[in-house]
Amino acid sequence: VNVARTKFVCGNWKMHKTVAESVALVKELAAGLGAAAGKVQVAVAPPFTAIHAVAQALAGSAVEVSGQDVFWEVQGAFTGELSAGMLAEAGCKHGIVGHSERRQFFGETDETVNKKTAALLKAGLAPIVCVGELLAEREAGKTLAVVDRQVRQGLAGLTAEQMGKITIAYEPVWAIGTGKTATTAQAQEVHAAIRKILRELGGAVADAMRIQYGGSVKPDNARELMSQPDVDGALVGGASLKAPDFLAIVKGALP
Ligand code: PGA
């Protein structure tokens, strides 16, 4: 099935940028979209402190805002956490969940990913659900099994309609921040496998869902990766911190 899926490129800034730096960067992005404006979906995920100012600076532009994480409760005594409703009020349209750094350093599990995904949907936000294998898992031939488990458990209990609002980000952990990128063939293989799982879970909606690739996406490899039939965009870390690089990646999503 060849359904047209708008390419979706999101910059994940991680723990980088002050409020002032964030606002300066998104102004450059909004001004530099050129031919990609309206043709590629573009979002940035600033640190929490900068979200509100970034959303204000981007008002009326084609660049959208995402959270980097969220907590699943609506409110309460959860020191240090933020709800999906708070993200929405601050100007977010998206929320990243299950990033490998959250899984590695902050105890994220498939179960918490599932709760956070449901909480985002409930608040009207579009989840970007990250999955991906560790190097040892790839070397042991377990890549597809790991991704299968992460996708099924992350999306457990969702209706097909809810699934349609979700983007999956396939990020092989060995490729994140390492300068090592999956080959186009490695990426396409896993993306096609994810699409198959999504079809089992949600039927036809799977053909409209975007599956982003993440892991050392740069201006010089973005176009080739996103030219693969099941690679519908990118989740970009390091290269999203400089406007010229991120804009070049966004433009790599144009036909
Ligand atoms: P990277 O990060 O582009 O710096 O490898 C990607 C990510 O973690 O989302």
pLDDT tens column, 115-132: 999 999 999 999 999 999
| C-alpha to C-alpha distance for 39 and 66, rounded to whole angstroms | 19
The 8-class DSSP code of residue 74 comes to S
The 8-class DSSP code of residue 45 comes to E
Alpha-carbon distances of 155 from 69, 127, 159, 182, 220, rounded to whole Å: 16, 10, 9, 24, 33
pLDDT of residue 12: 98
pLDDT of residue 2: 47
Residue 104 Cα to ligand 1 middle (Å): 14
The 8-class DSSP code of residue 176 comes to T
Please tell me the number of Cα atoms within 13 Å of 104 on its side-chain side: 12
Q: Answer yes or no: 171 catalytic.
A: yes
pLDDT of residue 205: 96
List the beta bridge partners of residue 214.
Answer: 235
How many CB atoms within 10 Å of residue 166? 23
Please check the confidence at residue 85 and state whether its pLDDT lies above 90: yes
| C-alpha to C-alpha distance for 55 and 66, rounded to whole angstroms | 9
Query: How does pLDDT run across 35-56, given as a tens digit for each residue?
Result: 999 999 999 999 999 999 999 9
List the beta bridge partners of residue 131.
Answer: 170
What is the chain's mean pLDDT, rounded? 97
Helices of type H across the chain: 19-32, 48-57, 84-90, 100-105, 110-122, 135-139, 143-154, 160-163, 184-202, 219-226, 243-251
| C-alpha to C-alpha distance for 52 and 178, rounded to whole angstroms | 31
List the beta bridge partners of residue 83.
Answer: 71
- Tell me the three state secondary structure of residue 22: helix
Among the atoms of ligand 1, which is closest to the Cα of residue 218?
A: 3
CB-based pocket (< 6 A), ligand 1: 12, 171, 176-177, 214-217, 235-239
Q: List the structure tokens of 102.
A: 């959250």
Site to substitute for ligand 1 among 15, 170, 171, 213, most atoms within 8 A of C-beta: 171
pLDDT of residue 179: 87
Residue 77 Cα to ligand 1 middle (Å): 32
Query: How does pLDDT run across 10-27, given as a tens digit for each residue?
Result: 999 999 999 999 999 999
Q: Answer yes or no: 16 catalytic.
A: no
| C-alpha to C-alpha distance for 14 and 12, rounded to whole angstroms | 6
Please check the confidence at residue 137 and state whether its pLDDT lies above 90: yes
For the stretch 116-141, what's the b/e string if a residue is b when 16 or more beta carbons lie within 10 angstroms of its beta carbon? Answer: bbbbbbebebbbbbbbbbbeebbeee
Pairwise pLDDT comparison (179 vs 241), residue with the higher score = 241
Among the atoms of ligand 1, which is closest to the Cα of residue 175?
A: 5
Whose CA is closest to atom 3 on ligand 1? 237
Please check the confidence at residue 1 and state whether its pLDDT lies above 80: no
Confidence of residue 3 (pLDDT cuts 50, 70, 90): low
How many CB atoms within 10 Å of residue 2? 6
Residue 199 Cα to ligand 1 middle (Å): 27
As a whole number, mean pLDDT of residues 201-220 equals: 97
Q: Which of 108, 133, 137, 171 is catalytic?
A: 171
Spatial contact of 182 and 173, defined as CB atoms under 8 Å apart = no
Q: Which of 64, 94, 99, 101 is catalytic?
A: 99
Please check the confidence at residue 4 and state whether its pLDDT lies above 80: no
How many CB atoms within 10 Å of residue 60? 6
Confidence of residue 180 (pLDDT cuts 50, 70, 90): confident
